[in-house]
């Protein structure tokens, strides 16, 4: 049940953001979309989730995304947006249940399990607005995880679509989230994540798509894509892989296990 995009272009107003690009992600893999600010990463993800109008064709398991109902989309993929603001005093459990309500379900079982998976056991009754930014981000991750709790169902693979899932988190919780995403893929689901941290991408991603200027510059395994030449071209500054800076301290986890 691959996610395939063919000849995708997106314009916002008069500005062309994506330029006739193609993309593919497979279940059982964590696919990371990387690139500099303004490269079109989030725009691509929003097109892949059906949130943005686009030219070209996107299919999920061979079915055209444009022909799927809201209920079908909610059952096949869950989306973690970059920003999520709530104005009303919801409890944590109520926020997590939003994902289930999107599918017309009232099941309670995934809520405590999803909160435990993101390192927030016992938080169900707390008010969402009283949490730290990082805790709120993990609650939102629990919401999308509960929505597609089982990576496989009778229709095939289900998908986590994550936009910068570790942006507000400390190192320990970054690793928690990335392990969770990698485990979801290991159990047969599909994961597409927009990432800024290239080290975490190299540690956890099975497939990397490098973007710049609304185009795909390279795709493949991390060692094929994250090269001196490709990264220097994409980011517009001299970058070298596996070379610590000449001065200062370099902090990097030694294991992704």
pLDDT digits (tens, 9 = 90+) for 149-190: 999 998 899 999 999 999 989 999 999 999 999 999 999 999
pLDDT surpasses 70 at 257: no
- pLDDT over 90 (residue 242): no
Q: Which domain holds residue 50?
A: 3-83+158-235
* Residue 127 DSSP symbol: B
Retrieve residue 126's tokens. Answer: 């707390």
125-157 pLDDT tens trace: 999 999 999 999 999 999 999 999 999 998 899
| Mean per-residue pLDDT, 2-16 | 93
Give the Cβ contact number of residue 227 at 10 Å: 16
CB-based burial, 57-93: b 16+ in 10 Å, e otherwise: ebbbeeeebeebeeeebbbbbbbbbeeeeeeeebebb
Residue 153 Cα distances to 107, 149, 179, 241, angstroms? 16, 10, 22, 40
What is residue 84's predicted lDDT score, i.e. its pLDDT?
74
Residue 42 belongs to some domain of the structure: yes
242's tokens: 């596996």
pLDDT band at 245 (very low <50, low <70, confident <90, very high): low
Q: Provide the β-strand partners of residue 208.
A: 32, 220
Query: Reduced to 3 states, what is the DSSP secondary structure of residue 195?
Result: coil
Q: Which two tokens stand for residue 145?
A: 């995880």
Mean pLDDT of 23-45: 97
Q: Which of 154, 143, 5 is nearest to 76 (CA)?
A: 154
What whole-number distance in Å separates Cα of residue 155 and Cα of residue 142? 23
Q: How many residues are recorded in the chain? A: 257
CA-CA distance, 15 to 225, in Å (whole number)?
A: 28
CATH number at residue 209: 3.40.50.300
Nearest of 129, 204, 131, 130 to residue 166 by alpha carbon: 204
Question: How many distinct structural domains can be found in the chain?
Answer: 1
Instruction: Tell me whether residue 118 is in a domain.
Output: no
120 inside domain: no
Please report whether residue 122 resides in a domain: no
Report CA-CA distances (Å) from 132 to 25, 71, 113, 127, 137: 33, 32, 21, 11, 9
In a domain, 124, yes or no: no
C-beta separation of 34 from 210 below 8 A: yes
Q: Is residue 96 part of a domain?
A: no
- Least trusted range by pLDDT, from 16-20, 81-85, 154-158: 81-85
Is 27 part of a structural domain of the chain? Answer: yes
Kindly state whether residue 91 falls inside one of the protein's structural domains. Answer: no
């Amino acid at each position: 049940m691959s996610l395939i995009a063919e000849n995708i272009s997106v314009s916002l107003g008069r500005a062309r953001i994506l330029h006739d690009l193609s993309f593919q992600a497979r279940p059982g893999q964590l696919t990371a979309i990387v690139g500099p600010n303004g490269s079109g990463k989030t725009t691509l993800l929003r097109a892949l989730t059906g949130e943005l109008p686009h030219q070209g064709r996107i299919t999920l398991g061979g079915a055209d995304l444009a022909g799927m109902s809201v209920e079908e989309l909610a059952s096949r993929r869950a989306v973690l947006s970059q920003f999520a603001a709530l104005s009303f005093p919801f409890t944590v459990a109520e926020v997590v249940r939003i994902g289930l309500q999107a599918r017309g379900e009232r099941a309670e079982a995934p809520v405590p399990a999803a909160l435990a998976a993101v390192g927030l056991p016992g938080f169900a009754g707390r008010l969402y607005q009283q949490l730290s930014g990082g805790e709120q981000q993990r609650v939102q991750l629990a919401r999308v995880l509960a929505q597609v709790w089982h990576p496989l169902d009778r229709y095939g693979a289900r998908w986590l679509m994550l936009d910068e899932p570790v942006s507000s988190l400390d190192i320990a919780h970054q690793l928690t989230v990335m392990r969770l995403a990698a485990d979801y893929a290991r159990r047969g689901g599909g994961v597409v994540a927009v990432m800024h941290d290239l080290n975490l991408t190299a540690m956890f991603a099975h497939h990397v798509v490098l973007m710049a200027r609304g185009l795909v510059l390279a795709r493949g395994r991390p060692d094929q894509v994250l090269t001196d030449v490709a990264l220097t071209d994409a980011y517009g500054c001299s970058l070298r892989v596996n070379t610590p800076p000449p001065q200062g301290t370099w902090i990097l986890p030694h294991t992704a296990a």
